[in-house]
Amino acid sequence: MLTNLRQNPKPTIFLVDDDEDDRFLFLDAIKHLRSEIEFREFVDGESFVKTLSSLQAPPDAIFLDLNLPKRNGIECLDYLRQQLGATLTKVFIISTSSSTFMIEKTKERGADFYIRKSENFANLKRLIQIALKQLNAPNTVEAVPYYLNQLVEE
Assigned CATH for 12-138: 3.40.50.2300
Among 2-6, 108-112, 130-134, the range with the most confident prediction by mean pLDDT is: 108-112
Residue 139 has pLDDT above 50, yes or no: yes
Higher per-residue confidence, 95 vs 3: 95
Q: What is the pTM of this model?
A: 0.88
pLDDT given at position 37? 85
Q: What percent of the chain has pLDDT over 70?
A: 87
What distance in Å separates the CA atoms of residue 51 and residue 55, rounded to the nearest whole number? 6
Indicate the range of 39-53, 84-98, 103-117 predicted with least confidence. Answer: 84-98
pLDDT given at position 7? 47
Residue 87 has pLDDT above 90, yes or no: no
Every domain of the chain and the residues it spans: 12-138
Compute the average pLDDT of residues 91-114: 94
